[in-house]
Amino acid sequence: MNGELSLKDQQHFLTAFQTPSDRAKATYDLAAFKAAALPLLCRILDGTSKNEWGVAHRKIGIVVDCALVTVRNLGPIAKSLEDLVRAEAATGHPYAAEALAAIGAQQTVQPVEPASGGSAS
């Protein structure tokens, strides 16, 4: 599948990503759109995709999870999303490293370690 994702298709995927019984299939179905999936994935990862209440889909963790799995499924086709995926890797997102590897990115980002709460000796 190539071509553009209609608004109806985009809404379908955003809803499916939030539905436990649909999310795995939705990641593969969206990847089948190849490069046409990139604008939606970009909007999810950069925070500009919002739900009907104005909440960024990126604040709904499972949507970001599904976006990163879709990026992984797309492989090198999703290379243009590298900076956004790298930003997720920097926060320690568990799927970001796999997505970076799949798109062929050099993995130089280390996850952010939580600050230690210990006192200095």
Based on the structure, what is the number of domains in the chain? Answer: 1
Q: In Å, how far are 16, 58, 109, 114 from 27, measured between CA atoms?
A: 9, 16, 25, 30
Domain span holding position 94: 7-103
pTM score: 0.83
Instruction: Assess if residue 112 is contained within a domain.
Output: no
The answer to whether residue 14 sits within a structural domain is yes
Residue 54 and residue 101: Cα distance in Å, rounded?
32
Radius of gyration of the chain from its Cα atoms, rounded to whole angstroms: 15
Q: Is residue 31 part of a domain?
A: yes
Cα atoms in the Cβ-side hemisphere of radius 13 Å centred on 43: 15
**Which residues have a Cβ under 8 Å from the Cβ of 8 and sit 6 or more positions away?**
none
Query: Cα(56)–Cα(64) distance, rounded to whole angstroms?
Result: 10
Is 94 inside any structural domain? yes
pLDDT tens, residue by residue, 28-83: 999 999 999 999 999 999 999 999 899 999 898 899 999 999 999 999 999 999 99
What is residue 107's predicted lDDT score, i.e. its pLDDT? 59
12 closest CA partner among 1, 4, 29: 29
Q: State the sign of the Cα–Cα–Cα–Cα dihedral 58, 22, 79, 90.
A: positive
Residue 83, domain member (yes or no): yes
In percent, how much of the chain has pLDDT > 90? 77
Position 121 in a domain: no
Residue, of 114 and 60, whose pLDDT is higher: 60
Indicate whether 118 belongs to any domain: no
Q: Does 53 fall in a domain?
A: yes
